[in-house]
Amino acid sequence: MEKYYITTAIDYVNGAPHIGHAYEKILTDIIARHYTQRCDDVYFLTGTDEHGIKIQKTAAAQGITPKELCDMNAKKFKDAWKALDIDYKKFIRTTDEDHEKIVQKIFDKLLKQGDIYKHSYEGLYCQGCECFLNPKDLTEDGLCPDHMKKPEVVKEENYFFKLTKYKDILIKYIKEHPDFIVPEFRANEVLNQLEDIQDISVSRAKSNVQWGIDVLSDSEQSIYVWIDALSNYITALGFDTENPSDTFKKYWPADVHVIGKDILKFHSIYWPAFLMALDLPLPKHIFAHGWITIDESKMSKSLGNVISPTSVLESFNLEHPDAFRYYMASSAPCGRDGNYSDNDFKEKVNAHLANSMGNLLNRTLSMLVKYFDGEVKPEFKGENPLAKKALGTVQIVKNHFDNFEIAEASLEIISLVDATNKYVQDNAPWTLAKEEKMIECGQVLTNVLDIMCIISTLIYPYCPNIAADMARQLSFNLKTKLDDLTADNIKTGKLISKEDIKPVFLRVDSELADKSAKK
């Protein structure tokens, strides 16, 4: 694998980031970090979507300009991702000058080649969805099913994209590429939507929407959200209709777009059609994740259960975001909805990260110091009965990531931790030491520490700080590629001293972990 290009959806900046935004960015960051363990060149793109009527109206209500609102909220997203250790390569904003210029050229090219035409239209427009809806898509009460609001009747002369021109080729492509849309069951939804697809509006009249990118050849029209927003995946790489950059040529097509299931239609129908019209290859995969509920209830401002991702870190006084990252990533099977609750968070991260994984390393190193002064002797090295399961787990984890099964992969890692804990209990190195079977005792401890090196590598994408602490105490190179892992990782000689043994993760309800408990 020479390169890996991964993107998130770009977040709309009429509000601050919440836990749903964080879920997507954490999933994507974990996938990106995993692939850094398999290739040397990973490009991770995220950013913000900053045009449209909602921005215009929100800014007006706050008495500021749309650009001031975008600048303020884009910073909030950047700050949140920094707090969560989201390690992106580039953060694109659709108000970036180079993005706007390329979007204008894309629109102009499609217009000149006949894929875009001007047309008078009257339809039902949902501001929340930023699109026109068919009456059959509404609830019995005439409401948008996603936003539970009545769409407004809009009559305008706009530019339209000939989506119907690409209907049959899109249906054929999706049927012939069963892994294009992940999870696969979502493909049936898309195929059903394609049956009734119509040409789509790709501009709005300036009289209604001023905050947008101007159509080059028509000063009375703004380029509408989907050509603007979706094009970020190629404009960020330096795509140009006349002379694409070397960066674009190197990374496109994307290996995967990670998006929420609510915008699957736009990514699996609109975006591929735009790309076909531009004569560009399609992304390899579109991974549509589910939603995150709060205590089993859908997030809603009216319910007051919208959670800021950084508020979880603050409320539990977490030194780094690893526990939150692990919990969110393991909260739902591939493409399904997940749930966040404080109690479940505490129970899960304490059980997996503190009691199972952290304690396993801590007590094994402590026994090595107690019985052997922290030294691994040559006679401790030999055949490791845990090797087959550990190296098999590496392959299983890789397979899960290839299918974007991030939660499933985390369970395999914890299964390896559990198996290693069982090995310790079954072989009881403390009993071997008591019986003065010191070589056997040293062999058990060394076998465990060799496997802990593999565990540190596997858990790294989820918990980069914990993994780094583990690797440091094991004197292990965390940059080891997955295909280069062996079950012989611990070097002979002095490994660690008593004062260098530190818990890699404290229970979140302990006095040490939760400083508020001391008050």
C-alpha to C-alpha distance for 96 and 163, rounded to whole angstroms: 27
352: left (phi over 0), alpha (psi -120 to 50) or beta: alpha
In what order do the strands lie in the sheet containing 218-223?
A: 203-205, 218-223, 213-215
Q: Which long-range contacts (CB under 8 A, 24 or more apart) does 144-152 make?
A: 146/262, 151/124, 151/125, 151/126, 151/127, 152/124, 152/125, 152/127
184-223: string of b/e by CB count within 10 Å (b at 16+)? eebbeebbeebeebebbbbbbbbeebebbbbbeebeebbb
Tokens of 195: 């049956």
Neighbours of 417 (CB within 10 A): 25
Which residue has tokens 């259960």?
305
Between the alpha carbon of residue 427 and those of residues 267, 422, 423, 440, 496, the distances in Å are 53, 8, 6, 9, 22
Would you please indicate which residues are annotated as catalytic (active-site) residues?
18, 21, 126, 129, 144, 147, 298, 301
Torsion 297-298-300-305 (CA) sign? positive
